[in-house]
Amino acid sequence: MKNEPAGDAHSLFEALYEGESAVVRALRAGASVEARDEDGTSALYLAAVQDLPGTVRLLLAAGADPDRPSGPEAGDLPLCGAVCGGHTEVVEALLAAGADPDLREDFGFTALRWAAGLGHAGIAELLLAQGADPGLPGPRDEPPLVVAARRGSARTVRALLRYGAPGLRPALDEARRMLAVDAGKELLRALEALHGPGHESAVRRTRVAGGVLVTVELLRDGEPFAGQDQETGHGAIATLLEEELGLRVPFEELAVRALRGQDPELDDWRETVRVLRLRGDEETFQAAAAWAASADPLRQMLGAQVLARLGFRADEKPFASRAVPLLRVLARDAVHPAAAEAATRALDAYRPAHGGRRGPE
C-alpha cells in the first residue's frame, strides 16, 4: 500500500518527481521520511538511483536512515544503488550521513564491489577514503582487486593498491588472461549466455581517460535491448601488479603491451614507459636505443620516451652521454613528426634546469 503524506495532495513519491520544494512540502505535511511504495522501495533509494543529490540530502536531514534496505526483498541499499549509477554526489551525501560502505546487498554485493566491477574509479576512491574494506570479497568470493583487473580499469586498480588491497596474484592472473582476450567477443559471449544466441549486435569503442571503453549491445529491430561494457587497460594493470609483486618482466613483453593500443596517451603505454625508466640498467638502455633506431615510428616514440628519463635519480642522469646523441639523430631524421617531437621532448629532460647549452657535453 502506498504511503500518502497526511494533509498533502501528493505522496512523497510523487513529490520526488516535482523537485526539492515539493519534497519539503510533503515532509512538512506529515509524510514519513521512511515511507515505502507498494513494492517496498524507499523514497531515499529512489532518489539515490535517480541521481537526485539535493533530494537525498533533504531526506537524510529529515532523518532517513542511509543504511535502511529497500525493495520487495529488502535487498537493495541506497549507497549501492547510487554507486551502480555512477552518481558521485549522491554517494558523497550518503557517506557523509554515515552510510556503511561495507554493507552487503542481495547476493553479497558491496558498494566497492559494484564500483570495481563497473569501473567507477572515482567512486571507488571515495569509498576507500571513507573506510571501505579493500579486501572484502563479493559474489564468488572474489576480492575487489580481481574484479577491477577483469574490468580493465587501471585507475581503480591504482586506488585499491594505495589502500593495500589483497589478491595481487589472482588479479595479475586475471589481467594477463584478459590481455589475450578480444574484448568485443568476450562481451558478446557473456550477453549471449544471458539472452541466447542469434541476435544482431553492435560494438562501440569510446575513448576514456587513459584507455578505451568497449561496449557491445544486442539489437532487436535495430534497437539495443541489452548491453555490457569493459575497459581495456589490462596491460597497464598487469604492469602495476607485477611491480607490486617484484616481478621483472622482459622488456619486449612490456613493449608489446605499450604498442598494442598504438597510442602513447593510453595507460598501457604510460605504465610501460614508467617502469622501464625506473629500471635504469644497461639492458633497458640497449632496448630503448634499438627501438629509437628502428623504422617503426611507434617504436621510435617508445624508445625516445624511455630514454628521456632512464635511470634518473636526483641529479644523476647515467645514460646522458649515450642517450643524447641518439635522441638528436632521431629528432633530426625521423620521418614521422610524432617521433621527432618525442625525441625533442626527451632532449629537454637532459638540458640544465637553468637553461644554457643544449644537452650535456
Cα–Cα nearest to 120, from 93, 150, 85, 71: 85
Q: Enumerate residues 6+ apart whose C-beta is below 8 A from 162.
A: 128
Residue pLDDT, tens place only, 168-180: 999 999 999 999 9
Mean pLDDT over each residue of the chain, to the nearest integer: 93
Does 356 score more than 50 pLDDT? Answer: no
Does 310 score more than 80 pLDDT? Answer: yes
| Angle (CA) 295 329 255, round 5° | 45
Nearest-10 crossing angle of helices 144-151, 154-162: 160
Confidence tier at 315 by pLDDT (50, 70, 90): confident
- Paired with 216 in beta bridges are 203, 228
CA distance 182 to 150: 13
C-alpha cell at 299: 617504436
CA distance 348 to 341: 11
Determine the pLDDT at residue 74. Answer: 83
C-alpha cell at 91: 554517494
Confidence tier at 133 by pLDDT (50, 70, 90): very high
Residue pLDDT, tens place only, 145-159: 999 999 999 999 999
CA distance 70 to 328: 65
Does 359 score more than 90 pLDDT? Answer: no
Does 3 score more than 70 pLDDT? Answer: no
Does 26 score more than 50 pLDDT? Answer: yes
CA distance 23 to 55: 7
**Three-class SS state of 225:** strand
CA distance 119 to 237: 13
The answer to which of 6-15, 80-89, 118-127, 204-213 has the lowest mean pLDDT is 6-15
C-alpha cell at 70: 529497500
Does 109 score more than 50 pLDDT? Answer: yes
Per-residue CA distances from 335 to 119, 287, 297, 300, 332 (Å): 39, 21, 8, 10, 9
Does 4 score more than 60 pLDDT? Answer: no
pLDDT higher at 95 or 17:
95
Q: Enumerate residues 6+ apart whose C-beta is below 8 A from 270.
A: 210, 236, 264
Confidence tier at 106 by pLDDT (50, 70, 90): confident
Does 316 score more than 60 pLDDT? Answer: yes
In the chain, what are the domain boundaries? 12-100, 183-229, 280-348
Q: Enumerate residues 6+ apart whose C-beta is below 8 A from 333.
A: none
Residue pLDDT, tens place only, 250-302: 999 999 999 999 999 999 999 999 999 999 999 999 999 999 999 999 999 99
CA distance 274 to 109: 35
Does 353 score more than 90 pLDDT? Answer: no
12-100 topology per CATH: 1.25.40
DSSP string for residues in 226-263:
EEEEEE--HHHHHHHHHHHHT----HHHHHHHHHHTT-
Residue pLDDT, tens place only, 42-70: 999 999 999 999 999 999 999 999 999 99
The single-letter DSSP state of residue 63 is T
| Mean pLDDT of the 319-345 span | 97
